[in-house]
Structure 1
Amino acid sequence: MEAVRVERGTITQEAFGRGTIESEREAAVGFDLVGRLSEVLVDEGARVSLGQELARLETDQAQADLRAAQTGIGAARASLQRLAAEEDRARALVATAEREDTRNQSLFDAGALPGQQRDEASDRLRVARADLDRVLAQRSEATRGIDVARGGAEQRRVAMVRATLLAPFDGLVTRRLREPGDTVTIGSTVLRIVDTNRVYVNAAVDETMLPQLALDQPAAISFPGTKEAVTALVSSISWEADRQTHELLVEVTPERLARRVAIGQRADVRIEVGRQEDVLRVPIRMVHHDETGAFVYADHGGRIALVRPSFGLTGNELVEVLDGLAEGDIVLAAPGVVATLPLDRRWVAQ
């Protein structure tokens, strides 16, 4: 015969869930241009820091294009200097032709110069102005050429910068999906990185526990193969339950992880949804049920009696006794699978 005394203590009611470790921040990183991988600088399992170089594309063509663009800029600048000198010469010729044309017009008006000489001076002025317009047009074109060459050089520089893949945050490389020599396209993933400092468990909890769940409730996370539980808090409760399993996802965030975990690793979660301190309690295994309700077998003067107490909060192993039993009372249970005890019989503890 198993005998247990009614005692005072704490009862906690828990909601159980099973899920996987997830990261609040993860990234599939890749290049935003097409190219061939020359180097992948990190392996799976490597820890990386914000801004760290992860991979590089071949840049031989980009470097050649940059050198060509820089050569074009130099040639355009030399041409611009030459045209600047030509502009000075053309402006000087226009100024001379304008003075000569003005002087000849005055002489012609005074009758001291034939009309043919006046017309020749006017023609020289038109030619000088046309030459100046040509030089100005060439200089404008050369200036635009420099701007275009500078833009091309800047594009090559940007392409060379974009040919280096950088870590977007501190984290852990979980997948390496490309190798040197592979051709990558825009949007293709080279590496997967997760932030292991910001992880949580997405646990599936029975929907019947929803009324008792709340944010910031204390919880415990345990992992397969370990006995130690990690303290945690409820950080999110899903607004939608699975229509087939009738479970909802509850996000539980550990306060601190002292052990290594893997993203996607299984984890069990126990969420404290109720607690009673300093209450009478008995083991749940001592409570029986019939068509009338719950009852226990109790000691009454050394004999077996049936008592129907009122029960309160139910935990995983203990249940609260509201009345019907007192502290120190003894409740009884048969050993093994036998549940029914003969009433008013004397009992012996085993």
Structure 2
Amino acid sequence: MDRATRMTDDPSANRLTLQRPPPRTRRISPVLFWCAAGMILLALVALAWRYAWPQQVSSYRVKREALEVSVSGPATLDAINKANVSSRVAGRLTQILIDRNDRVVPGQLIATIEQEDLRNILSASRANLQGAQGAQQEADANVESAQATLTNARSAFGRQAELKEKGWVSRASYEQAEATLRESEARVAGLRQAAQRARAQTDAAAASVRVDEAQLGLASVRAPFGGIVSVRNRNVGDVLSAGASILEIVDPESIVLTARFDESAIGAVRPGQPARIRFAFDARRAVTGKVLRLGRSVDPETREFTADIVADRLPSNWAINQRANVEIVLSAKPRALVVPAAFVEWNGIQPNVWVLEGGRARRRSIELTGTRGSRLEVRRGLAPGDILLSPEDSYPFMPVARQGDDDR
């Protein structure tokens, strides 16, 4: 029997085929199925919450209103006219006639320095002056006497000269008269020089008296101008050196507040502009004032310049170097398109806002006028009645259910 006959007779050989057997059915684990279904459901719920369910968000309705463009900065109370009153002579402080918060007038005596030594020096100078004046008087008297002698010698010489021409006197008498004349002239010239030296000594003694009198006067310290004593640095009995501070006087009429602002605002600040001043002890109450003058230097570290502000009315209690905050009103617009700064977000240098359109939030670019502060003026990009949304809670195409317009 051959090989083909054996394959035909074998039953298993008849079941051989070239077709692929059918695949086996795979069963999905119930745990995996429900996990996947849950994740899909959560994703659908999140999408529905984010893009279908309206969100509560604060809003602001754009409108036209009055806007003041201002710049603010810290300030300290100072005075244009203030003096550190000191002694120009050294000595012991014997008397102080005024105290802190006292008002003084120009030239008022406020303190005295020990004067005994200065009085003794002045007495010695006056005595020297009297001696010099006596020496001058004596020298002047000598000049007058010598001048009289010279006049007499000239007359005698003239008579001798006339008699000599007539031959009535000897040559010896004539020469004696001439010698007497020359001696008298020389004596007068010498006494005049002595009188000039005596006069110079008298002038020097008089100048010394004036210096000593001035020194004695400096021992009496007087107010350089009218004002209020703000600081007292010394007490009776203190030994002072020349230039040592005794007290400080401030002219209340010259009090200003020196405020600091960023250098970017220097082109907008002008003398005469209105200002509001808030002192640290009562920041809720504003005191009106105006810009007096601008500083002409910028701090190289802080990049700030200064401006002096004059208050229309000072508080009852004030102090030099007292802190305050100053706001200068640069301009005022009665109908400006204003938005709160909290509703503006910045993308680099580009300002953007979130606007409610068709019930959804959409980002919009706007253009501002360059104002600063909590309220900004819009030049382009918005219109009255537009609804702005808080940028902290907004995202693209967010459905919105407003909480109510913010009227800040």
Q: TM-score, normalised by structure 1?
A: 0.74
Alignment of 1:108-147 (within 5 A): 112-113=168-169, 117-118=173-174, 120-147=176-203
- Structure 2 distance, partners of 1:98, 1:348, is 127
Aligned to 2:327: 270
Q: Check 1:173–1:69 CA distance in 2 against 1; reply closer, same or farther (3 A cut).
A: same
Aligned to 1:163: 219
- Shift in Å, 1:225: 1.8
- Shift in Å, 1:81: 4.2
Alignment of 1:35-184 (within 5 A): 35-104=91-160, 107=163, 112-113=168-169, 117-118=173-174, 120-180=176-236, 181-184=238-241
Deviates more, 1:35-44 or 1:308-317: 308-317
Q: Is the 8 A contact 1:230 1:254 kept in 2?
A: no
Q: Check 1:130–1:297 CA distance in 2 against 1; reply closer, same or farther (3 A cut).
A: same
3-state SS in 2 of match to 1:225: helix
Letter in 2 for 1:63: R
- Shift in Å, 1:49: 2.5
3-state SS in 2 of match to 1:190: strand
Aligned to 2:361: 306
Aligned to 2:274: 218
Q: Check 1:72–1:284 CA distance in 2 against 1; reply closer, same or farther (3 A cut).
A: closer
1:17 to 73, 85, 88: 73
Aligned to 2:11: none
Alignment of 1:290-329 (within 5 A): 293-297=352-356, 304-306=359-361, 312=368, 316-320=373-377, 326=384
1:201 to 257, 263, 267: 257
Which protein is richer in helix relative to its size? Answer: 2
**Alpha carbon RMSD of aligned pairs, Å?**
4.1
Letter in 1 for 2:352: G
Deviates more, 1:89-98 or 1:119-128: 119-128
Letter in 2 for 1:21: L
- Shift in Å, 1:349: 6.0
3-state SS in 1 of match to 2:74: strand
- Structure 1 distance, partners of 2:182, 2:345, is 119
- Shift in Å, 1:18: 1.4
Q: Is the 8 A contact 2:71 2:328 kept in 1?
A: yes
Aligned to 1:233: 290
3-state SS in 2 of match to 1:257: coil
- Shift in Å, 1:266: 1.2
Q: Is the 8 A contact 1:237 1:251 kept in 2?
A: yes
- Shift in Å, 1:229: 1.1
- Structure 1 distance, partners of 2:299, 2:184, is 87
Q: Check 1:55–1:108 CA distance in 2 against 1; reply closer, same or farther (3 A cut).
A: same
Q: Check 1:305–1:237 CA distance in 2 against 1; reply closer, same or farther (3 A cut).
A: farther
- Structure 2 distance, partners of 1:103, 1:252, is 90
- Structure 2 distance, partners of 1:31, 1:348, is 71
3-state SS in 1 of match to 2:326: strand
- Deviation string 1:280-307 (CA, Å, 9 cap, x unpaired) is 545555x365979312458x7xxx5436
Q: Check 1:9–1:109 CA distance in 2 against 1; reply closer, same or farther (3 A cut).
A: closer
Deviates more, 1:83-92 or 1:309-318: 309-318
1:29 to 52, 75, 85: 85
- Structure 1 distance, partners of 2:325, 2:171, is 110
Q: Is the 8 A contact 1:234 1:250 kept in 2?
A: no
Q: Check 1:311–1:136 CA distance in 2 against 1; reply closer, same or farther (3 A cut).
A: closer
- Structure 2 distance, partners of 1:203, 1:319, is 23
- Structure 2 distance, partners of 1:207, 1:92, is 86
3-state SS in 2 of match to 1:168: coil
Letter in 1 for 2:323: R
Percent identity between matched residues is 24
- Structure 1 distance, partners of 2:338, 2:144, is 106
- Shift in Å, 1:231: 1.8
Structure 1 gap segments, 5+ residues each: none
- Structure 2 distance, partners of 1:346, 1:126, is 130
Q: Check 1:123–1:239 CA distance in 2 against 1; reply closer, same or farther (3 A cut).
A: closer
Deviates more, 1:232-241 or 1:159-168: 232-241
Q: How many residues align?
A: 340
3-state SS in 2 of match to 1:42: coil
Q: Is the 8 A contact 2:100 2:231 kept in 1?
A: yes
- Structure 2 distance, partners of 1:116, 1:325, is 132
- Deviation string 1:143-186 (CA, Å, 9 cap, x unpaired) is 2332222222222233333333333333333333444442322x
Letter in 2 for 1:306: A
Structure 2 gap segments, 5+ residues each: 1-55
- Structure 2 distance, partners of 1:65, 1:194, is 35
Q: Is the 8 A contact 2:128 2:205 kept in 1?
A: yes
- Structure 2 distance, partners of 1:104, 1:347, is 138
